[in-house]
Structures are given as structure tokens and as C-alpha cells.
């Protein structure tokens, strides 16, 4: 069986920005909030962390800061995906030097790749670092899919240990082919229980930015055999999940954190603020969960 980087709720943490760069004090506050509320891993500089807008030096500085703040209390998983294999390899090596415990690597975007190209792309990452790698399959953003047969070939590589899967319709096929040689995490907050039912180990979550304790409890309950409690929490979270994905992620979750009293600033362009009506709806849902500051 491959190494399990974490079991439970891994938060895809936002990156707080000011007009002058990263707000590292606010980032530390977010990390402490997550750890205090039971989050099982912190995923930094991913999609929700707006890594695509960060120059390499800033990207690595954010990873390093989270590593130093967390101080080994939970695993830190660094996003290092790129549509340029050489660039992604470089970021991965820098993340390893910064102290990350594992890497999260998305499929190439825009230029895309064939399935053979995907195998070569991720193989290059794996050969360049000693860290465990979690693949990230998110067809809605990259317009491509890691096919089950490709997962099978990649699962033969020792330090490719898991996947953050957003194409939930293929999880059964992937599990059938790969077994416990590829740990399943879902990237869909609304589909945590289906992933766990196939033997998955958790979620890399957006909603955990706002409700870390409940997201942790949902996964922990299921893994402990309390399916009824896990189901109750999954259903309870549905209105919040809907509003957190009512605009392009991470626009709503950053707005939500600001409304909850965390000063995480705005998103960077091309992501813009929510329109007033949508923001009002977000505030109403947060209030219904007693989350407003």
C-alpha cells in the first residue's frame, strides 16, 4: 500500500493578499485557525490559493511560510502544477527545499497533453523529488482527464501515491485498476461521502476554509464507522457548498472569509469581486450557519 499523506480533511487554503503582496500575518492566522479546528492537512499554493497569479519567488515564499508556521503539526502539501513540465519540476524541487511534506500536481492546462504525455509529465516530477506526489485531476479547469488506465501506469511509480479527483464518475474504475496503490481524495466538497465509500481517505476542501471542524468531523466520522453522522454533516453543508461555488473559486470563499472576520483581501485579476446581489446571498447563507463576524 502506498504512503497515506493524510486521512481526513485537507484544506485548500486561500492566500491572503494586500495591494503590496502576500499578507503573511493573515496567512499565519488562517493556519492556526485550521489546526485549532482539527484540519488534517494544509494544501498551500493550489487553485484556491491562486498560485497561477504568483511569481515563483512569491509562490515558494508562501509554501515556506506555511511550513514554518505549521511546524510539522499537520502535513503541508504544496501545489506545484504547471503546463510546462520543466517549470513544474523546478517548482517541485523548490517546494521540497522549502520543507513541504508532499506535492499536489495538476494536469497540464491550455497546451494539454496526450495520455502518453501525461505519463511522461508526471514521471518527470516523480524522478525530480523524493516527496510523495498527489495528482490533481480537474477537467473543468484543464479540459483534459487522467484516464483510469493512465492512473494505473502512474500508480506503478513509487512516490506517486494518490489523486485529488474531481471526475467522480470514474473513481470506481480507478479503484478497480489501482487498488491501494493510489489513494483517493476528492476535490468536490459535495461528493465526500461517495469518495469515502470507494475506500477514499478524505477531501481536499474549499469549504474547510470556513467550516474546518465540521469538514474534519464528517470525514473522521465516516472513517470511524459512523456513517449516519457523516451523512448528516454532508447534507447539512449543501447550502454552504452551493454558495461557495456560485462564482469562480476562490472568489466566494475569500469573500466568505472576509465576512467571517478574516482579513484575506481580494482575489487577484482576472478574478474579480462578487456582484452585490451574489455577495448579499453569500452573507445570508453564512448568517444561517452562524458564521458572520
Residue 293: what pLDDT? 83
What pLDDT digit, counting tens, does each position of 30-86 carry? Answer: 999 999 999 999 999 999 999 999 999 999 999 999 999 999 999 999 999 999 999
CB atoms inside a 10 Å sphere around CB 152: 17
Q: Is residue 95 one of the residues assigned to a domain? A: yes
**pLDDT at residue 239 is higher than 90:** yes
Q: Is residue 216 one of the residues assigned to a domain? A: yes
What pLDDT digit, counting tens, does each position of 177-215 carry? Answer: 999 999 999 999 999 999 999 999 999 999 999 999 999
Q: What range defines the domain where residue 192 resides?
A: 8-226
Considering its fold, how many domains does the chain have in total?
A: 1
Express as a percent the part of the chain with pLDDT over 70.
Answer: 100
Give the integer Cα–Cα distance in Å for 141 and 212: 25
Q: Is residue 264 one of the residues assigned to a domain? A: no
Q: Is residue 282 one of the residues assigned to a domain? A: no
Average pLDDT, the chain: 97
Q: Is residue 169 one of the residues assigned to a domain? A: yes
Q: Known catalytic residue: 289?
A: no
Residue 232: what pLDDT? 98
Q: Is residue 114 one of the residues assigned to a domain? A: yes
| Positive or negative: CA dihedral 201, 203, 208, 209 | positive
* 31: CATH: 3.20.20.70
Q: Known catalytic residue: 136?
A: yes
What pLDDT digit, counting tens, does each position of 208-238 carry? Answer: 999 999 999 999 999 999 999 999 999 999 9
State the catalytic residue, choosing from 2, 164, 201, 254.
Answer: 164
Q: Is residue 270 one of the residues assigned to a domain? A: no
Question: Given pLDDT bands bounded at 50, 70 and 90, which one contains residue 3?
Answer: confident
Q: Is residue 83 one of the residues assigned to a domain? A: yes
State the catalytic residue, choosing from 125, 136, 185, 222.
Answer: 136
Residue 277: what pLDDT? 97
**pLDDT at residue 1 is higher than 90:** no
Residue 2: what pLDDT? 87
Question: Given pLDDT bands bounded at 50, 70 and 90, which one contains residue 157?
Answer: very high
Amino acid at each position: 500500500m502506498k504512503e497515506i499523506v493524510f486521512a481526513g480533511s485537507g484544506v485548500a487554503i486561500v492566500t491572503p493578499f494586500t495591494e503590496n503582496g502576500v499578507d503573511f500575518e493573515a496567512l499565519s492566522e488562517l493556519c492556526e485557525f485550521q489546526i485549532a479546528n482539527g484540519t488534517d492537512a494544509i494544501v498551500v499554493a493550489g487553485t484556491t490559493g491562486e498560485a497561477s497569479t504568483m511569481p515563483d519567488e512569491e509562490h515558494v515564499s508562501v509554501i515556506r511560510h506555511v511550513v514554518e508556521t505549521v511546524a510539522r503539526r499537520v502535513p503541508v502539501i504544496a501545489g506545484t502544477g504547471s503546463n510546462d513540465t520543466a517549470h513544474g519540476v523546478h517548482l517541485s524541487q523548490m517546494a521540497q527545499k522549502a520543507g513541504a511534506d508532499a506535492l499536489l500536481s495538476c494536469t497540464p492546462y491550455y497546451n494539454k497533453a496526450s495520455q502518453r504525455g501525461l505519463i511522461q509529465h508526471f514521471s518527470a516530477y516523480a524522478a525530480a523529488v523524493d516527496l510523495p506526489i498527489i495528482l490533481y485531476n480537474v477537467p473543468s479547469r484543464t479540459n483534459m482527464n487522467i484516464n483510469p488506465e493512465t492512473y494505473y501506469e502512474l500508480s506503478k511509480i513509487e512516490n506517486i501515491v494518490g489523486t485529488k479527483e474531481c471526475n467522480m464518475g470514474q473513481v470506481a474504475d480507478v479503484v478497480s485498476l489501482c487498488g491501494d496503490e493510489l489513494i483517493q481524495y476528492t476535490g468536490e466538497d459535495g461528493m465526500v461521502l461517495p469518495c469515502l465509500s470507494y475506500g477514499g481517505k478524505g477531501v481536499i476542501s474549499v469549504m474547510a476554509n470556513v467550516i474546518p471542524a465540521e469538514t474534519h468531523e464528517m470525514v473522521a466520522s465516516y472513517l470511524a464507522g459512523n456513517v449516519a453522522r457523516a451523512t448528516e454533516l454532508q447534507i447539512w453543508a449543501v447550502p454552504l457548498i452551493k454558495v461557495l461555488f456560485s462564482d469562480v473559486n476562490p472568489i466566494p470563499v475569500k469573500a466568505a472569509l472576509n465576512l467571517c472576520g478574516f482579513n484575506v483581501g481580494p482575489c487577484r485579476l482576472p478574478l474579480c469581486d462578487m456582484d452585490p446581489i451574489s455577495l448579499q446571498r453569500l452573507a445570508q447563507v453564512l448568517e444561517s450557519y452562524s458564521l458572520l463576524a
